[in-house]
């Protein structure tokens, strides 16, 4: 949460004109190539300075600036008679449209590509690229969206919060803001109507921006900010409810490099390790040896601790040429996750073999799970394969509603289930989590989602098997308590949220958590569920 005056991002550069070029084609192309190289070098340097997750994002943007397909398209357009600026604008724009059409993960990358285009055009014009405004005093930054290059290097002494019109929970704006502990509210209708200097309260937990707040609203917000600072400064303890009921707090990680930071913030292990970083951008699947080295580095950071690794979660929404790059009309419902891995089973076998080797070489407690699992048959397939290749603990992710409906069948085979609340919400409410037009449906507080979590929790208790949460819902402190009341045994989140959730859990007993859960499940809307829990929690 943050309180402060609004300051808007400057408008993007004007669209290049359509006049015919006057320079000869080779000279114009050389100028564009020079600008592309300069932008790529600048993005790489920004990544080196930012480090961590931001470095991975900016390195990916640098690669966009050097993409041979885009360069070829620019060259063809220059040969057709347009200026270098116009050629860049049109070529990048066409590629953006293609990414948006693919949906899911790739649609989110369209914003990143648009930022690269703006930077290249600025370099061609010899003007600064649009960026974060300068201010002598702290402010709430409002923008259509924010480029990764800008998010990664925000001045934390000046930028109190981000409010954007566009973006979703998995946009790089949201991800990088969370990693830097900056309150970020994305996909806000009417965000661009806010005027510079207007005071707002930006509440990233509820997703609400209060314009011109009253004195009481400001006081309440400042008290919550003070409570959060106190929670962050408190001694690190294991997660537990007020009655001592243990709720291990784990970290969601995307690279072994993030492990040390998570441990410093009190992560008791890893609840979701995304292995895509090894695969995305590669022309062929990484070798067993290279994967083993990466997984071993991760496990060594958590000796004796639980580390849950997700098998490659890719497919049509994150196309890989060596896995499945076929165009699909609706990739969110396509050949992704375990579905894609079963088609190219050797890629899955190699990954599980590497994980088993890392397990044997370390003392961490390795758990491995499959993404996008629909039913008991797919569960049996993955668990059997994991056992065959030497893994000790093998489970599945609950992201598809059918898996929750069949939870009792799934629990007979799986060692554990981990609930991915982002996708579970998307599929339960039939609302693409990347579409701003249906963003209001993308709320894990919805009673339909909570009832599916409850079904999974009950099945886990009946089978005496763990049910974890690894979606962003676990980072919402009060919702985390509700999820425990519904039967969640562990919570995994972005490390920046650990202190807030640890503090909130400590305020409630298990009986109280179950009462909060019952009140939320009985509501008829997501807002009603939150209000019911807040009212009962006091």
Q: Point out the catalytic residue in the list 172, 245, 327, 508.
A: 172
| Averaged pLDDT score across all residues of the chain | 90
User: 446 catalytic, yes or no?
Assistant: no
CA 254/CA 276 separation, integer angstroms: 8
Note the pLDDT tens digit of each residue in 295-314.
Answer: 999 999 999 999 999 999 98
Q: What is the pLDDT of residues 93-135, one digit of tens each?
A: 999 888 877 766 667 678 788 889 999 999 999 988 877 887 8
Nearest to 187 by CA among 480, 468, 509, 432: 432
State residue 166's pLDDT score. Answer: 81
Domain spans of the chain, in order of start: 1-217, 243-537
Give the pLDDT of residue 176: 75
Under the banding of pLDDT at 50, 70 and 90, the label for residue 290 is very high
* Confidence at residue 103, expressed as pLDDT on a 0 to 100 scale: 66
Which helix (H) or strand (E) segment holds residue 209: the answer is strand 208-211
- Model confidence over 217-261: pLDDT tens digits? 999 999 989 988 887 788 899 999 999 999 999 999 988 888 999
CA atoms within 13 A on the CB side of 261: 17
* Helix (H) or strand (E) segment spanning residue 184: strand 184-185
Q: Assess contact for 83 and 28: CB atoms under 8 A.
A: yes
| Chain segment 448-486, per-residue pLDDT in tens | 999 999 999 999 999 999 999 998 899 999 999 999 999
Q: Higher confidence at residue 47 or residue 282?
A: 47
Question: Above 60 in pLDDT, residue 316?
Answer: no
Q: Which two tokens stand for residue 103?
A: 């949906």
**CA within 13 Å, CB half, 108:** 20
Give 279-288 pLDDT, tens digit per residue: 876 778 899 9
- The residue whose two tokens read 């890629």 is 347
What digits encode the pLDDT tens for the residues 511-529? 999 999 999 999 999 999 9
CA distances from 327 to 177, 317, 430 (A): 31, 9, 21
pLDDT given at position 142: 95
Q: 470 an active-site residue?
A: yes
Given 245, 327, 446, 470, which residue is catalytic? 470
Class (C level, CATH) for 243-537: alpha beta
Hey, what CATH topology would domain 1-217 get?
Glucose Oxidase; domain 1 (3.50.30)
Structure pTM?
Answer: 0.76
Dihedral sign, CA of 453, 456, 461, 462? positive
Note whether 288 and 357 are within 8 A (CB).
yes
């Amino acid at each position: 949460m943050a309180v402060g005056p609004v300051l808007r991002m400057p408008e993007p550069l004007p669209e290049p004109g359509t006049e015919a070029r006057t320079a000869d084609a080779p000279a114009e192309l050389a100028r564009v190539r020079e600008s592309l190289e300069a932008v790529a070098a600048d993005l790489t340097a920004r990544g080196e300075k930012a480090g961590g997750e931001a470095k991975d994002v900016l390195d990916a943007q640098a690669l966009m600036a050097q993409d041979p397909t885009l360069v070829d398209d620019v060259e063809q357009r220059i040969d057709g008679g347009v200026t270098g600026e116009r050629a860049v604008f049109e070529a990048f724009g066409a590629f953006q449209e293609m990414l948006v059409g693919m949906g899911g993960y790739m649609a989110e990358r369209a914003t990143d590509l648009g930022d690269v285009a703006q930077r290249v055009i600025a370099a061609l014009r010899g003007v600064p690229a649009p960026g974060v405004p300068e201010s002598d005093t702290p402010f709430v930054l409002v923008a259509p969206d924010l480029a990764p290059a800008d998010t990664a290097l925000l001045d934390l002494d000046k930028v109190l919060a981000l409010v954007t019109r566009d973006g979703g929970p998995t946009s790089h704006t949201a991800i990088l803001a969370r990693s830097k502990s900056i309150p970020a509210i994305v996909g806000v209708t009417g965000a661009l109507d806010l005027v510079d200097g207007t005071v707002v309260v930006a509440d990233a937990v509820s997703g609400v921006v209060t314009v011109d707040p009253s004195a009481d609203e400001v006081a309440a917000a400042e008290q919550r900010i003070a409570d959060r600072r106190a929670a962050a400064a408190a001694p690190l303890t294991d997660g537990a409810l007020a009655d001592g009921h243990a709720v291990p707090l784990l970290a969601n990680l995307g690279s072994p490099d993030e492990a040390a930071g998570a441990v410093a913030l009190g992560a008791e292990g890893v609840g979701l390790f995304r292995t895509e970083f090894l695969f995305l951008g590669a022309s062929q699947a990484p070798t067993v040896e290279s994967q083993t080295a990466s997984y071993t580095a991760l496990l060594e950071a958590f000796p004796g601790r639980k580390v849950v690794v997700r098998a490659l979660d890719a497919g049509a929404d994150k196309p890989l040429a060596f896995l499945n790059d076929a165009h699909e009309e609706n990739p969110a419902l396509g050949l992704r996750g375990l579905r894609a891995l079963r088609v190219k089973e050797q890629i899955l076998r190699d990954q599980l073999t590497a994980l088993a080797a890392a397990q044997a070489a370390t003392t961490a407690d390795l758990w491995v799970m499959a993404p996008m699992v629909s039913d008991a048959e797919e569960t049996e397939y993955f668990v059997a394969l994991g056992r065959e290749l030497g893994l000790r603990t093998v489970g599945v992710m609950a992201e598809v509603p059918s898996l929750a409906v069949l939870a009792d069948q799934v629990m007979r085979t799986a060692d554990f289930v981990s609930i991915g609340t982002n996708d579970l919400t998307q599929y339960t409410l039939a609302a693409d989590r990347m579409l701003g037009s249906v963003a209001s449906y993308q709320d894990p507080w919805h009673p339909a989602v909570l009832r599916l979590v409850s079904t999974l929790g009950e099945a886990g208790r009946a089978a005496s098997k763990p049910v974890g949460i690894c979606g962003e819902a676990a980072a919402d402190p009060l919702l985390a308590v509700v999820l425990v009341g519904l039967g969640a045994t562990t919570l995994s989140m972005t490390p920046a949220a650990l202190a807030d959730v640890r503090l909130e859990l400590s305020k409630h007993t298990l009986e109280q958590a179950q009462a909060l859960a019952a009140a939320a499940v009985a509501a008829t809307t997501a807002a009603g569920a939150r209000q019911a829990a807040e009212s009962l929690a006091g």
